Amino acid sequence: MKDIKQQSIHTQTVHAGIYDDVFGAIVPPIYQVSTFRFQDADHGASLFAGREKGYIYTRMANPTIEALENAVAVLEGGHKGLGCGSGMAAVSATFMTLLQAGDHVICSEAVYGPTNTLLRGVLSRFAISSDFIDTSDVANIRKYVTDKTRLIYLETPGNPTLLVSDIRAVSRLAKEIGAYLVVDNTFMSPVLQKPLDLGADVVLHSMTKFLNGHGDVVAGMIIVKDEEAYQRFRRTINQLGGTITPFNSFLVHRGIKTLAIRMERICQNAGAIASYLESHAQVEWVRFPGLPSHPQYDVHRKQAAGPGGVIAFGLKGGLQAGKALMNAVKIFALAVSLGGVESLIQHPAAMTHASMSKEDRLAAGISDGLVRISVGIENVDELIQDLDQGLRSR
């Protein structure tokens, strides 16, 4: 087979990160071990000194974990991946690697709640300041740049409002001011969007979501562009200890094999459901990157190959109407997270973004009446019927 990096995304999802094991296994074996034996004292010393490649201790490296890291790096077009124990472990390790006391961060205001809380409630104690703003407007970002700005952090589409930021335009600004551009690509997956190709320096994933896709793993991934960055991040992760386990790596790697075909079905389903919701008399508004009514529809089409599977909408009747719908649906599961084969529904203000103050939520466009659904791979007609009966039961 020619270089896997030259293959299509459908072939990459099946074959990336697969290596020839000594026994010819067609999937990477699970090396469920904590430590590795050295050939002799000189071999151990050489590994610790970095003169020789090999494995020492699973917190530092493990063959099963490395297979997954290599696979995601191929999909994202990066140099190397770094597996983490959760999406927030990946976010934390990124901030700890790239920032120091006195630095300033510009962050999307539509961002995963714990990322907001980490910056405001934890890193602020270490003299790292941050502004949470509408990053869909590059001119607006420029207004918040200071001589201390070292990192611009984007979620695009943003969670849960689906606000879209122009990655390429923001990358030009970041380079101009000498800041890192970090993009959380969880909502899109590398099947639909490749931020490194658009100028980002670092890409993050909560692999709990689309990459794994089966609701049975909590994991994160950092993807970097070159060896220097990889070694810098690796030192941080080795010390923080937020490493993914071999078994979870195996599960995510298995899930990635169907990522491309899952995303095709999810995007098709989500597009049909978003159109249904937008035409429903009881729906006040819908935010979905695949609808022409989305304010950044053209930007998203330019930088992504599909709309994804997350839809935000508001019902006439606000919070109580949303609660009634969430309690009435039968196929959609009332649960947080997203990106799985099953369809989920939840209320961000009371759930995923409850750690944010109401003032911050409203500033980010997260109203009390906002309902977020993650569309799965079920029969789309049955999903629409489920929403329809839920709306009629109010």
Residue 202 has pLDDT above 90, yes or no: yes
pLDDT of 18: 86
Q: Which CATH architecture has domain 259-392?
A: Alpha-Beta Complex (3.90)
Active-site residue, selected from the candidate residues 120, 150, 194, 209 = 209
CB contact at 8 A, 93 and 237: yes
Active-site residue, selected from the candidate residues 31, 55, 80, 112 = 112
Helices 318-328 and 380-392 cross at an angle (nearest 10°) of 130
Strands 310-315 and 370-374: antiparallel
Q: Is 265 a catalytic residue?
A: no
Cβ neighbours for 301, distance < 8 A, ≥ 6 positions apart? none
CA distance 341 to 210: 9
CB contact at 8 A, 256 and 75: yes
pLDDT of 1: 47
Q: Is 297 a catalytic residue?
A: no
Q: Rounded mean pLDDT of 56-70? A: 96
CA distance 40 to 22: 21
Q: Which of 20-34, 128-142, 254-268, 378-392 has the lowest mean pLDDT?
A: 20-34
Q: Which of 85-99, 210-224, 231-245, 367-381 has the lowest mean pLDDT?
A: 367-381
Strands 129-133 and 149-155: unpaired
User: For residue range 247-283, what is the model confidence (pLDDT) as tens digits?
Assistant: 999 999 999 999 999 999 999 999 999 999 999 999 9
CB contact at 8 A, 192 and 220: no
Q: Is 112 a catalytic residue?
A: yes
pLDDT, greater one: 317 or 225: 225
User: For residue range 295-347, what is the model confidence (pLDDT) as tens digits?
Assistant: 999 999 999 999 999 999 999 888 888 888 999 999 999 999 999 999 999 98
Active-site residue, selected from the candidate residues 103, 166, 184, 386 = 184
Q: Quickly list H helices, the chain.
A: 9-15, 41-49, 63-76, 87-98, 113-117, 138-143, 167-177, 189-192, 227-240, 246-256, 259-278, 297-303, 318-328, 358-363, 380-392
Q: Is 184 a catalytic residue?
A: yes
- Structure-block tokens of residue 334: 């009332």
**pTM strictly above 0.85:** yes
